[in-house]
Amino acid sequence: MLKKKFSILFCLLCCTIQLHASACTLFAATGESFVEGGGTLVAKNRDEKAAHQELKVVHPNNGYTYYGLFSGKTATFNAAGINEKGLFVAMSTAGSIPTAERKTYPIYKDADGQRTNKHLLAHYASVDEVLASQEDLWHEPVNYIIADNTKVAYVEVAPDHTHAVKVQENGVLYHTNHYIEPETIAFNKKIGISSATRYNRIEELMTKHDGPFTFDDFITISEDQHDGPTCSIYRLGTSPTGTSTLASFIVYLPPTGSPVIYVKYRAEANEQGHERITGKEELVNLLE
């Protein structure tokens, strides 16, 4: 009851705080008790202003092949992806840091000019490898989620170049666009009502679910419109040019065998209501 009252007060407080346009919802479940058949389920709902998006396979000159969702005029920004080794990587903006301030922080780029998410997909095979890395990977204020078939983790990157990590091997994780870990929570400057509302909703859906999650459960969660056009996990937005959900990228990483991928996405800005759906496809077939 106390937790419920706190959540209500928190949402009321956020109603007086700036609503940030950029937003994403990340969620995952892992372990036999939480995923039907074992392994890991992980997803990202991408919320942004409508723009070109495409799915493609990347063959780095040096590194692992990976499949992902890319956006921008030349489709170079990777929003989510999974590599041939079964490592999933996605990210969400730390929207509780004002945009102008976020843009002042340096962005990590490797020797090939790739940002952190692309670098991870090209050069790491597991969550353990990423977390054990001695590379200086964590720069700009971003929340990353990384997953393999045995565990999932999120990494909150703070403005002072520090980071907080939470790992789950038999349970659930979820995140939106503000800091929630004790080490980073003080860095929140303006928590948007959308981020707060989506966080409360995804927490409810992930912690009050009856029994292990199925792939179809994750698809249903990704389409949740419980909190209206601007604050739902699947956001319809309030105008054709405004922020809305542009994609759902969902992956099942089984204990053995090829990962399975489902993507619902808007390839072009004018395709709202006519999103493309890949169906459930095995990664091994997509990389051929």
Q: What pLDDT score was predicted for residue 194?
A: 96
Q: What pLDDT score was predicted for residue 22?
A: 53
Domain ranges of the chain: 2-286
Q: What pLDDT score was predicted for residue 144?
A: 98
Q: What pLDDT score was predicted for residue 10?
A: 40
Averages of pLDDT over runs of 10 residues in the chain (288 residues) are 42 37 86 98 97 97 96 94 98 95 93 96 98 96 97 97 97 98 97 97 98 98 98 95 95 98 97 96 96
Q: Give CATH for domain 2-286.
A: 3.60.60.10
- Report the predicted TM-score, pTM, of the whole model to 2 decimal places: 0.92
Q: What pLDDT score was predicted for residue 18?
A: 37
Q: What pLDDT score was predicted for residue 253?
A: 98
Average pLDDT score over the chain: 92
Nearest Cα to Cα of residue 275 among 244, 246, 254: 246
